A and B are shown apart, each in its own frame.
Chain A
Amino acid sequence: METDEVDALTGLATYNVLIEYLEDSVPAEVLYIEIDEPARFNDAFGYDTDKRILLYFCENLSTLLDDELFVRIGTYSFVIAKKNPSKPGELKLLADKIINQLREPMNFEGNLLYMTAAIGIASSFYGFYSAATLVRQAEHAMKKAKREGTNRIVLCQENRGFSFEHELKLLRDIPRAIENGEIYFVYQGQYNYAQKAFTGAEMLARWEHPVLGNVPPDIFIPLAEKSGMITPLMNKTLIEVSKMYKKLEEKGFDDFSIALNLSFQVLMEESFLDNVTFLLDAYGLQGKPLTFEIMEDTIPDHLESFTTRLDEVKALGFSLAVDDYGTGHTSLTYLLHFPIDYLKIDRSFVHNIHQNRRNFLLFKSIIDMADALDLKIIAEGVETREDDAILQQFEDITVQGYLYCKPLRAEALLKRL
């Protein structure tokens, strides 16, 4: 066999074999498993302990397999693929067995070691995908499992309705969609308790594709990033904002702030400042209350060029918000170093806050911290009266969610104000 078909260390098949194996086979399921840092044992037991642990792990796992394909896909990660499972989630049974096996201490050269792992499973039952997409989905689910704790299993059950082939079509259609208005914008109002009024809105992109229908942003934004279309999309967004400000001013809302999502990739692009400066100037956006929202999980811990760029953006007159605050893995220190104005507390803290004491305490501690750092708070995902009643204890915060305002077209929002 060729070397690109066999893994040198374990003798297992490689990614190439996996893709060939899965190609054209529907249904199929993929289990993605990653062992948590076996290298941590190297200090105690010798430099190549991780490699020996991997071999031990592979040998043990093999005893659980039937006709599945077992593949080494990364340093500490493996894939098990099954063709024609009888029902969705068949690999879940295998995953349970693997986790049970891991819970037993491993007798490693006379020492008892505990290994942990994360498992993600994707299945073609939930929509037809190319082999590569299926593997990517399983990997994505594995990462989610890892975030949830140790020895967790996550099944990717989302049927996004978009196959790999659809994605190719979407990639090709994005430029046209930006130009002809298939990609359009909606605004979700943000309600301030102290002022008892909508004081701003978040602007969100939507895509109504003529053939594929409504394409969610979590599908098309990454595609736009991949295809270099994210900058034209941001340009279009800012131009659209300028028109919205004109309408707001006509109605006498001079201080109404508008927030738009900014991808880390766009922000760090070399031409970003030139572009934004041109748009501010050409479309009369100077001095307007505009906020850029940056998702927390894209914020790097320490990156001088990032801090510098944020300072430059602030100097142009923008405010900055951290979006989905509380979901990322970034250290708290960035709040001290980055020139941030708003924290948007993620919906997971807000949901059921009236029943969930833990969520309430976390929310309250974020508010206390924000006060100390002089940051303004926007709570996301306010959807029930019960949660709203609890949040109203925090008088000077702003809330966003379906209870107050769903995302609306510009004209509809103007009517609501």
Chain B
Amino acid sequence: MAKTILIVDDVGFNIEFETKLIENIIKETGIPMKVDEAHTVEEALKMIDSNEVYDAMIIDMNLPDGSGVEIAKYARQKDAKTRLAALTIYPNEYEQERSYFDLFMKKPIMIGPFKQNFLRLLQIG
């Protein structure tokens, strides 16, 4: 079964970049994955409602209609097994919110570290 991933970011450039990196990881690992995208908190919550449980999410912390934490809480409620990564420029500012996420990923996205963290998120390798 393909792994299902949800990327939440309001910057199109980031979504495109992350998607291409995941495509590259699919090619390298041979593991099939399906990537969905959302651009706001509202869109993300709808995606969580209307889909099967996601294997993993990469959530931008600073969204136009709220914080990534809201999405993380909502996803956890639906299923505790979903692996959650926060994506932020300033990880230090979210010390209080660390517990909602399995890991923090730094922006701007760096190619090598993103790939490593993504595999960690999916608990592969």
Q: Contact residues of A with B, CB < 8 Å?
A: 175-176, 178-180, 229, 231-232, 235-236, 239, 271, 274-275, 278-279, 281-283
User: Is A278 in contact with B24, judged by CB distance below 8 angstroms?
Assistant: yes
Contact present for A179 and B20 (CB under 8 Å):
no
Asked if B111 and A235 sit within 8 Å, CB to CB, the answer is yes
A175 touches B13 (CB 8 A): no
Contact B108 A178, beta carbon cutoff 8 Å: yes
Shortest CB distance A172–B (Å): 9
* Smallest beta-carbon distance A283→chain B, Å: 7
Please name the residue on chain A nearest to B11 by beta carbon.
Answer: A179
Given contacts A176-B89, A179-B13, A239-B17, contact A275 B112 (CB under 8 A): yes
CB distance from A157 to the nearest CB of B (A): 35
Contact present for A282 and B24 (CB under 8 Å): yes
A283→B20 contact, CB < 8 A: yes
Residue of B nearest to A282 (CB): B20
A220 to B108 CA separation, bound complex (whole angstroms): 16
Q: A175-B89, A275-B112 are in contact. Are A180 and B11 (CB under 8 A)?
A: yes
Inter-chain CA distance A297–B60, complex, in Å, is 40
User: How distant is the Cα of A239 from the Cα of B21 in the complex, in angstroms?
Assistant: 13
Contacts of B11 in A (CB 8 A): 179-180
Write 19 A-B pairs (CB below 8 A) sorted by A numbering: A175-B107, A179-B13, A179-B107, A180-B11, A229-B108, A231-B110, A232-B108, A232-B109, A235-B17, A235-B111, A236-B13, A236-B108, A239-B13, A239-B17, A271-B112, A278-B24, A278-B111, A282-B20, A282-B21
Q: Distance in Å from the Cβ of B105 to the closest Cβ of chain A?
A: 13
Tally of B interface residues using CB under 8 Å: 15
Query: Which of chain A's residues have a CB closer than 8 A to the CB of B89?
Result: 175-176, 179
B48 vs chain A, min Cβ distance (A):
25
Contact of B111 with A179 in the complex, beta carbons under 8 Å: no
B55 at the interface (CB under 8 A from A): no
B117 CB–A CB distance under 8 Å: no
Q: Which residues of B contact A178 (CB under 8 A)?
A: 108
How far does the Cβ of A239 sit from chain B's closest Cβ, in whole Å?
7
Q: Check B112 against A179 for contact (C-beta < 8 Å).
A: no
Question: A176: which B residues are within 8 A, CB to CB?
Answer: 89
Q: Hey, which chain B residues are within 8 Å of A281, CB to CB?
A: 24
CB distance from B75 to the nearest CB of A (A): 24
Give chain B residues whose Cβ lies under 8 Å from the Cβ of A271. Answer: 111-112
Q: A239-B17, A282-B20, A282-B24 are in contact. Are A175 and B111 (CB under 8 A)?
A: no
Q: Bound state CA distance, A309 and B110, in angstroms?
A: 21
Q: What 0/1 readout, one digit per residue, does chain B (91-125) give for beta carbons within 8 Å of chain A?
A: 00000000000000001111110000000000000
Report B118 CB to chain A, min CB distance, Å. 13
In angstroms, Cα B112 to Cα A176, docked, is 20
Q: Which residue of A lies closest to B111 (CB)?
A: A275
Q: Tell me the smallest distance from the CB of B62 to a CB of chain A, in Å.
A: 9
Distance in angstroms between the alpha carbons of A365 and B100 in the assembled complex: 66
Known contacts being A175-B89, A179-B107, A282-B20, is A274 close to B14, with CB within 8 Å? no
What's the nearest-Cβ distance from chain B to residue A401, in Å? 32
Within the complex, what minimum Cβ distance (angstroms) separates A267 from chain B? Answer: 16
Give the docked Cα–Cα distance between A281 and B20 (Å).
10
| Complex: chain A residue closest to B113, CB-CB | A271
Determine whether the beta carbon of B112 is less than 8 Å from that of A274. yes
Measured between beta carbons, the chain A residues less than 8 angstroms from B109 are 232, 235
**Chain B 3-31 near chain A by CB (<8 Å), digits 1 or 0:** 00000000101100100110110000000
- Inter-subunit contact B108/A179 (CB<8 Å): yes
Distance in Å: Cβ of B110 to nearest Cβ of chain A: 6
Q: How far is the CA of A176 from the CA of B11 in the complex (A)?
A: 11
List 8 additional A-B contacts (Cβ < 8 Å) besides A176-B89, A236-B108. Answer: A179-B13, A231-B110, A232-B108, A232-B110, A239-B17, A274-B112, A279-B111, A282-B24
Give A22 Cβ to nearest chain B Cβ, in Å: 32
Residues in chain B near residue A236, CB distance under 8 A:
13, 108
Q: Which residue of A lies closest to B14 (CB)?
A: A179
Neighbouring B residues of A275 by C-beta, 8 Å: 111-112
CB atoms of B110 and A282 under 8 A apart: no
Kindly state the separation between the CA atoms of A343 and B107 in the bound complex, as whole angstroms.
36
